[in-house]
Amino acid sequence: MSLDTHPFAIAASDGVRLSATRIGRPDAPATIAYLHGPLADSTFWTPLTGRLHQRLGNGITQLVYDQRGHGHSQWPSKHEHTTLRRLAEDLDAVLTHASGAVVLVVHSASSLIVHTYAQQHPDHAADLAGLVFFNAATHFRFHDMAMVPSQCQPTLSRLRRRRRGRLDPLAAAGHAMLERRLRALDRQGKLAHSFVTGARRGDPRVLADWLQQCNEFTLTPEVAVGMRSTPSFVLSGELDRIVAAGESARLANAIWADYEMIPRATHSLPHTYPDFAEDAVLRALEVAYRDHQSFPAFEGADS
């Protein structure tokens, strides 16, 4: 079954254009929305969205988008700092284009965007019918992980401080070098064991801001308690060298989510093991169906 895709643009609250694609009809009774991690783009989800479309057809909508500074989305002004709050506002804008019950599927450090979203918009987050986290955690400390080369780790905060001043060109060059370095390591197969990056070069400033924000964020107990009302699933990879399985298990425990570790899976679990990812999303949809009786069962849906 060929994908029924509809590309469109979404205006963020600050005017940045976000590139999105809807798979399926716009008025479906349920939507699966996807949130990719840093250095990736919406194509990260292609293996999973393809499997789900083959399984469910147009009985649901799938909604993918490139986060700002990634893929085909616009780069923000060079004078702007990209914060988790800003990325959460982007998510809120995207979800206004979802229909019916919404299951949000999240990878890697984008889990921190969801935590921030739950803090900023608790009512909107509580309306989600389900959450599925892959390779996620309550916090990310990239200076402790294999993702950022050791020689780059101390420079993130220094480069950030040099923005907007006479040393801004130096900061821009440093950010670009970091982005190129990470992509080169990925092409060489040396980046944290099967870390999948996007095909298009991203905004180095957005990447650096995102990594720096991750170093400063931790899920608070108050936000975790608020997320417990949403049925959630957390999957980790046995061979994930960025987020250890124990870190994902702690997230599952904090938000009362179902937890599963996938043997031999790496940090790009939903991309490289889409069959396991599909099962998790279908479980979330089943829970959403029980909680939202206004839409039909999904088995065999193809229209």
User: How many C-beta atoms surround the C-beta of residue 303 within 10 A?
Assistant: 6
Least confident of 150-159, 203-212, 241-250: 150-159
206 touches 68 (CB < 8 A): yes
In sequence order, what DSSP letters do the residues of 88-107 get, joined into one string? HHHHHHHHTT--SEEEEEEE
Q: Is 234 exposed, middle or buried (0-12, 13-18, 19+ CB in 10 A)?
A: buried
Compute the average pLDDT of residues 91-104.
96
Judge contact between 68 and 75, C-beta under 8 A: yes
Distance CA 53, CA 16 (A): 29
Judged against a pLDDT cut of 90, whether residue 232 lies above it is answered with: yes
Answer with the residue of higher pLDDT: 207 or 6. Answer: 6
The mean pLDDT value of the chain amounts to 84
Query: What are the extents of the domains in the chain?
Result: 5-139+218-291
Three-state secondary-structure class, residue 298: coil
Lowest mean pLDDT segment, chosen from 35-39, 95-99, 199-203: 199-203
Residue 210 structure tokens: 């995102």
Instruction: Supply the pLDDT for residue 303.
Output: 39
Residue with tokens 């469109």: 8
pTM for the model stands at 0.86
Tell me what pLDDT residue 186 has. Answer: 57
Beta-bridge partners for 23: 5, 62
Mean pLDDT of 159-181: 57
Over residues 33-39, the mean pLDDT reads: 94
Q: Cα separations (Å) of 44 from 9, 54, 71, 231, 277? A: 19, 17, 10, 24, 13
- Centre a 10 Å sphere on the Cβ of residue 99 and count the other Cβ atoms it contains: 18
Q: Are 163 and 80 in contact (CB under 8 A)?
A: no
- The gap from C-alpha 164 to its chain's centroid, in whole angstroms, comes to 28
Is 267 within 8 Å of 281 (Cβ atoms)? Answer: no
> What are the pLDDT digits (tens) for 40-65?
999 999 999 999 999 998 889 999 99
pLDDT digits (tens, 9 = 90+) for 255-282: 999 999 999 998 899 999 999 999 999 9
CATH number of 5-139+218-291: 3.40.50.1820
| Neighbour tally for 225: CB within 10 Å | 12
**Euclidean distance between CA atoms 82 and 203, whole angstroms:** 11
Question: What six digits make up the tokens of 62?
Answer: 């799938």
Query: What is the pLDDT at residue 157?
Result: 57
Q: Are 233 and 283 in contact (CB under 8 A)?
A: yes
Total H helices, total E strands in the chain: 11, 8
Helix boundaries (H) for 195-273:
204-216, 221-227, 245-255, 269-272
Confidence of residue 183 (pLDDT cuts 50, 70, 90): low
